[in-house]
Amino acid sequence: MALALERVFGEPVDHVKVVENSWYARLHLGATATTRPGRIFLAISAEAFWGDPELVLHEYFHVLRQWQPRRLTRWRYCVECARHGYWLNVYEREARAFAAEHRDELCRLLRRYQRTAPGDAEALLLSDRYREPKAPRAPPG
C-alpha cells in the first residue's frame, strides 16, 4: 500500500502513522477517522480503513497536502466548519475531490504491486519514478 500511495502522492508516506480504534477519533462524533500532522486516527479497525481506498486517499490527503504544508490548522478547520459546515468546508471538499479523482489509479497500482514480488516492487516504483516524473498538482479550485 505504501508504494502505491507514494506513487499517487509523488512523495514518501512512510512517516504517516495510522492509529486504529483510537479514542481520539471516537471523540469526533460520527467520524470514521480524523487527522493531525503526521497521524491518522481511526475510529475503526485498520483492516476496514485499508479496505476502503477512497477513505485512505482522503485521510492521507489531509496529512500530506493540508497538515504537512501547514495549510490546515485546528483553528482554520474550526473556522471553515463554522462558516460552511463539515461537508462544505474547503478542507473536506479538497480531500473528497482528490480521493475521487485518484481512487482508480490507487486501485490499479495496488493490483499491479500485488502481482510483483516484494523485492521487485521497490525496483518497479523506482523505474516508474524515472520514466514518468510527476508534476506537482494544484489543489482543486
9 band by pLDDT with thresholds 50, 70 and 90: very high
- Residue 44 forms part of a structural domain: yes
- Residue 136 forms part of a structural domain: no
- Residue 134 forms part of a structural domain: no
- Residue 138 forms part of a structural domain: no
The total of other beta-carbon atoms located within 10 Å of residue 12's CB is: 11
Say how many domains are in the chain. Answer: 1
Indicate if the pLDDT at residue 66 is higher than 60.
Answer: yes
Distance, CA of 17 to CA of 14 (rounded, Å): 8
Average of per-residue pLDDT across 66-85: 92
Please state which of the ranges 18-22, 104-108, 133-137 shows the lowest mean pLDDT.
133-137
Average of per-residue pLDDT across 74-94: 94
Helix (H) or strand (E) holding 36, with range, is strand 33-36
Task: State the residue range of the domain holding 93.
Answer: 2-129
- Residue 46 forms part of a structural domain: yes
pLDDT 10s digits, 118-136: 555 444 444 444 344 444 5
- Residue 28 forms part of a structural domain: yes
